[in-house]
């Protein structure tokens, strides 16, 4: 037995001995196209016509909020179909499921038409995709790179045992840019749960389709990640022979696209008109000043200074709240420093309202544990705290004026995934940044800050109308020192004295994580 254990230990050590990153090799260099180079494309002509029709100056950004999950999928597929020159795509997660495979097929079809495709994925979110990515990369016009990759391909998690502090830092950015004329930035990754295509947990999320001044900034930001020393060509990391050819992947995609299981998403693409309306200069967009906020990719190496981090950028772009702060975050861990900052705002009379996931709605229980201990101090300082219920009545806007209402939360099995913040009814952040220590200090993040009273007001109205019906209002009974969860529906609405739908096992996990010194990891 001792001999067997020794042999197993030796085998494991040999397996893990090569887990460090290989030395950088010479790579192809490329940059995003200049806007002038794509001005004559259908997207370029449509954007120019929209700008002139709105009387917008070149320094403004036009945006359209993508709230519906299938519409968000269709936007990406249609942009891929409309592109004539380039597609630059950056994601934290790309699933090898129905919607992921459908979008991968759209990339092949675009490249077959002569579109240059650059696909940059965080390697932690590419589980099981090695063959697919190698096949994509074999196309002459598609190049795939992996950010901060695992050199041990299977089982990937073992890589953490030898290189934890490097692999613990991930690229959480999300952007989809076509012809350097239109981009989608927001909270969604690529996978069934983000596009409403699963019977399990569905993420309620928010993206912005943007055109105009912000797009070249997103393109340049993609370039610096693409050229980063921690972005590796997939062929340098996945060195075994591929078991799937490009032709095989193309055939699989075509079969899936024509299948019954893809009918809903095939119909969503054909029946979603807004890309055509964009090209025809008929899409209603708000034209406003906008600013890209994004971490330097060097954050993945731990070499970025605090003043350069995205948290500081968001604070500078949004400004100090004077009247109201409305925050939506699925993974909300304010930390002691954050609680003190919120307390200072409350002392100045600023209304602070927060929506996050309840224990029953979250998909990451340990993050809920990191958040739970901050509820009492937040409530003592007068914060209005809401926790999304997993099953709640679906919210439907009353009229067109509420087109910028928060995502359609409340479908069966929903979990909040949108990340947005509105300040003073004037400015709004939408992006990938979770208000937690991981987003602040470990993962790279990005987003857009828009000077949009319309969107900011809709978020404020959401806290007054839809959110109370879909979430628990958490309050603190000062007399007894106990938390109470007020449901927004029922006759009368029930009040819970213990956390709803919290099992004993999960309660113990929340308690244990809450006392361990792991907040910096969450």
**Among 98, 174, 368, 426, which one carries the catalytic annotation?**
174
Assess if residue 433 is contained within a domain. yes
Last residue of a domain, one of 250, 279, 308: 279
Assess if residue 205 is contained within a domain. yes
The predicted pLDDT at position 350 comes to 98
Looking at the structure, tell me whether residues 245 and 366 fall in a common domain.
no
Identify whether 417 is a catalytic site residue: yes
The predicted pLDDT at position 11 comes to 40
Last residue of a domain, one of 279, 303, 331: 279
Looking at the structure, tell me whether residues 312 and 395 fall in a common domain.
yes
Looking at the structure, tell me whether residues 377 and 262 fall in a common domain.
no
End-to-end CA distance of the chain: 39
Give the count of domains, the chain: 2
pLDDT above 70: percentage of residues in the chain:
92
Looking at the structure, tell me whether residues 273 and 299 fall in a common domain.
no
Assess if residue 16 is contained within a domain. no
Looking at the structure, tell me whether residues 248 and 124 fall in a common domain.
yes
The predicted pLDDT at position 187 comes to 95
In this structure, the chain runs to a length of 522
Rounded-to-integer distance, Cα 134 and Cα 88, Å: 18
Number of neighbours of residue 476 by Cβ within 10 angstroms: 17
The predicted pLDDT at position 363 comes to 85
CATH number of the domain where residue 260 is located: 3.30.870.10
Assess if residue 487 is contained within a domain. yes
Q: Which of 182, 167, 298, 183 is nearest to 237 (CA)?
A: 167
The predicted pLDDT at position 521 comes to 84
Identify whether 139 is a catalytic site residue: no
**Among 179, 205, 207, 221, which one carries the catalytic annotation?**
179
Tokens linked to 168: 């613990």
Q: How confident is the model at residue 488 (pLDDT cuts 50, 70, 90)?
A: confident
Please confirm whether the linkage preceding 492 is cis (ω < 30° from 0).
yes
Q: Which domain holds residue 496?
A: 290-521
DSSP string, 371-384: HHTTHHHHHHTT-E
**Among 88, 419, 426, 436, which one carries the catalytic annotation?**
419
> Would you call 23 exposed, middle or buried from its count of C-beta atoms within 10 A (0-12, 13-18, 19+)?
exposed
Contact status, residue 395 vs residue 405, Cβ threshold 8 Å: yes
The predicted pLDDT at position 502 comes to 83
Is residue 278's pLDDT more than 80? yes
Is residue 271's pLDDT more than 90? no
Looking at the structure, tell me whether residues 296 and 271 fall in a common domain.
no
User: pLDDT of 229-266, one tens digit each?
Assistant: 999 999 999 998 889 999 999 999 999 999 999 999 99
Is residue 442's pLDDT more than 80? yes
The predicted pLDDT at position 13 comes to 42
User: Residue holding tokens 């949108």?
Assistant: 418
Looking at the structure, tell me whether residues 273 and 313 fall in a common domain.
no
Assess if residue 13 is contained within a domain. no
- When pLDDT is averaged across residues 104-117 and rounded to a whole number, the result is 98
406 secondary structure, DSSP code:
P
Is residue 196's pLDDT more than 60? yes
Looking at the structure, tell me whether residues 71 and 136 fall in a common domain.
yes
Looking at the structure, tell me whether residues 351 and 477 fall in a common domain.
yes
Is residue 7's pLDDT more than 80? no
109 secondary structure, DSSP code:
H
Is residue 56's pLDDT more than 60? yes
Is residue 395's pLDDT more than 60? no
Contact status, residue 199 vs residue 98, Cβ threshold 8 Å: no
The predicted pLDDT at position 392 comes to 58
User: pLDDT of 419-428, one tens digit each?
Assistant: 999 999 999 9
**Among 70, 98, 172, 368, which one carries the catalytic annotation?**
172
Rounded-to-integer distance, Cα 458 and Cα 422, Å: 9
154 secondary structure, DSSP code:
T
Helix (H, G, I), strand (E, B) or coil at 142: strand
Contact status, residue 323 vs residue 352, Cβ threshold 8 Å: no
Is residue 114's pLDDT more than 50? yes
Greater confidence, 522 or 423?
A: 423
Question: 126-135, 317-326, 389-398: which has the minimum mean pLDDT?
Answer: 389-398
Rounded-to-integer distance, Cα 112 and Cα 269, Å: 19
Assess if residue 408 is contained within a domain. yes
Last residue of a domain, one of 230, 260, 279: 279
Assess if residue 379 is contained within a domain. yes
Looking at the structure, tell me whether residues 243 and 371 fall in a common domain.
no
Rounded-to-integer distance, Cα 209 and Cα 139, Å: 28
Assess if residue 7 is contained within a domain. no
Q: Which of 351, 292, 361, 290 is nearest to 326 (CA)?
A: 351
The predicted pLDDT at position 391 comes to 73
How far, CA to CA in Å, does 149 sit from each of 166, 169, 221, 236? 10, 11, 20, 10
For residue 157, give every residue at least 6 positions away whose Cβ sits within 8 Å of its Cβ, in sequence order, or none: none
User: Residue holding tokens 């002569």?
Assistant: 114
Residue 363: phi and psi, rounded to 5, are -100, 0
User: Residue holding tokens 């067997």?
Assistant: 4
What's the mean per-residue pLDDT of the chain? Answer: 89
For residue 126, give every residue at least 6 positions away whose Cβ sits within 8 Å of its Cβ, in sequence order, or none: 94, 133, 146
The predicted pLDDT at position 296 comes to 97
Residue 180: phi and psi, rounded to 5, are 55, 30
**Among 299, 417, 426, 451, which one carries the catalytic annotation?**
417
Alpha helix stretches (DSSP H) within 360-487:
365-372, 375-380, 437, 453-464, 466-470
Looking at the structure, tell me whether residues 341 and 214 fall in a common domain.
no
Q: Which helix (H) or strand (E) segment is 290 a member of?
A: strand 290-294
Greatest mean pLDDT range, 122-136, 401-415, 500-514: 122-136
The predicted pLDDT at position 413 comes to 61
Identify whether 172 is a catalytic site residue: yes
What are the residues facing 388 on neighbouring strands?
Answer: 357, 471
Looking at the structure, tell me whether residues 56 and 164 fall in a common domain.
yes
**What does pTM read for this prediction?**
0.93
Is residue 6's pLDDT more than 60? no
Question: 70-74, 280-284, 320-324: which has the minimum mean pLDDT?
Answer: 280-284
Q: How confident is the model at residue 16 (pLDDT cuts 50, 70, 90)?
A: very low
Identify whether 419 is a catalytic site residue: yes
- When pLDDT is averaged across residues 501-519 and rounded to a whole number, the result is 82
Q: Which helix (H) or strand (E) segment is 90 a member of?
A: strand 86-91
User: pLDDT of 157-180, one tens digit each?
Assistant: 999 998 999 999 999 999 999 999
- When pLDDT is averaged across residues 488-506 and rounded to a whole number, the result is 85
């Amino acid at each position: 037995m001792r001999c067997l254990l020794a042999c197993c230990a030796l085998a494991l050590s040999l397996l893990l001995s090569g887990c460090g990153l290989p030395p950088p090799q010479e790579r192809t260099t490329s940059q995003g196209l200049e806007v002038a180079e794509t001005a004559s494309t259908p997207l370029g002509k449509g954007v120019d016509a929209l700008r002139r029709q709105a009387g917008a100056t070149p320094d403004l950004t036009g945006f359209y909020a993508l709230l519906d999950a299938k519409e968000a999928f269709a936007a990406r597929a249609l942009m891929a179909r409309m592109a004539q020159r380039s597609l630059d795509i950056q994601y934290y997660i790309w699933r090898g499921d129905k919607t992921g495979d459908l979008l991968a097929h759209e990339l092949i079809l675009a490249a077959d038409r002569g579109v240059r495709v650059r696909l940059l994925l965080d390697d932690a979110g590419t589980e099981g995709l090695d063959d697919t990515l190698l096949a994509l990369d074999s196309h002459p016009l598609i190049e795939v790179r992996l950010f901060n990759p695992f050199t041990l391909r299977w089982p990937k998690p073992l890589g953490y045992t030898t290189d934890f502090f490097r692999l613990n830092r991930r690229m959480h950015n999300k952007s989809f840019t076509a012809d350097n004329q239109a981009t989608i930035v927001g909270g969604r990754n690529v996978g069934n749960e983000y596009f409403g295509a699963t019977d399990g947990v569905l993420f309620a999320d928010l993206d912005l389709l943007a055109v105009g001044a912000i797009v070249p900034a997103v393109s340049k930001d993609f370039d610096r990640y693409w050229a980063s020393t921690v972005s590796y060509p997939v062929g340098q990391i996945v060195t075994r022979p591929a078991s799937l050819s490009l032709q095989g992947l193309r055939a699989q995609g075509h079969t899936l696209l024509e299948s019954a299981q893809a009918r809903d998403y095939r119909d969503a693409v054909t029946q979603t008109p807004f890309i055509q309306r964009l090209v025809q200069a008929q899409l209603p967009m708000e034209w406003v000043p906008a600013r890209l906020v994004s971490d330097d990719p060097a954050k993945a190496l731990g070499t970025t200074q605090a003043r350069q981090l995205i948290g500081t950028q968001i604070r500078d772009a949004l400004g100090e709240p004077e009247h109201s702060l409305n925050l939506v975050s699925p993974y909300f861990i304010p930390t002691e420093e954050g609680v003190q900052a919120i307390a200072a705002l409350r002392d100045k009379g600023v209304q602070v309202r927060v929506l996050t996931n309840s224990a029953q709605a979250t998909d990451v229980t340990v993050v809920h544990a990191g958040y739970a201990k901050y509820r009492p101090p937040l409530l003592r300082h007068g914060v209005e705290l809401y926790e999304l219920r997993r099953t709640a009545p679906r919210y439907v806007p009353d009229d067109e004026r509420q087109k910028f209402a928060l995502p359609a939360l409340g479908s069966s099995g929903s979990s909040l995934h949108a990340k947005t913040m509105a300040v003073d009814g004037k400015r709004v952040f939408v992006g990938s940044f979770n208000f937690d220590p991981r987003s602040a200090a470990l993962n790279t993040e990005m987003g857009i800050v828009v000077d949009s009273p319309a969107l900011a007001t809709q978020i404020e109205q959401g806290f007054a109308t839809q959110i109370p019906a879909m979430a628990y209002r958490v309050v603190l009974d000062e007399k007894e020192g106990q938390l109470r969860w007020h449901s927004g529906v029922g006759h009368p609405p029930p009040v819970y004295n213990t956390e709803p739908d919290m099992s004993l096992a999960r309660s113990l996990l929340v308690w244990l994580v809450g006392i361990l010194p792991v907040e910096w990891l969450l």
